[in-house]
Amino acid sequence: MSRGQDALHDSREQALKRFRLLHNTASLRAGWLEKRLRFQEELLPLVEARMAGTAAGDTAPRARAVIATAFACLDAASMTWVDNDGEGELMDLYDECLAAVRG
């Protein structure tokens, strides 16, 4: 959990405790999801702008898919990290999840 995670948490144990709380408390998880969906909407114009030159047509569906996939991979990585009691590096798990989606 070293790549950037140390700046958010005092220790791996603290991070694991917070992630467990988030994943196992329905109201916190719902609040996080709501916040994340707002953040995804705010990211949409930025991702659309980057995709504008890549293909013809409306970029919104593709941009939404890219953003949603990135967040889904973050969820999968963090849930796996919690299930593994904080073993390994969260960002390595995230990279692994992205690689699985890319095929």
Residue-level pLDDT at 10: 77
Instruction: Report the domain count for the chain.
Output: 1
- Residue by residue, pLDDT tens for the chain (103 residues) are 444 444 555 788 999 999 999 999 999 999 999 999 999 999 999 999 998 866 656 788 999 999 999 999 999 999 999 999 999 999 999 999 999 999 8
26: containing domain = 5-102
Residue 97 CB neighbours (<10 A) = 21
Residue-level pLDDT at 6: 47
Residue-level pLDDT at 9: 59
Buried b (16+ CB within 10 A) or exposed e, 11-44: ebeebbeebeeebeeeeeeeeeeeeeeeebeebb
pTM for this predicted structure: 0.80
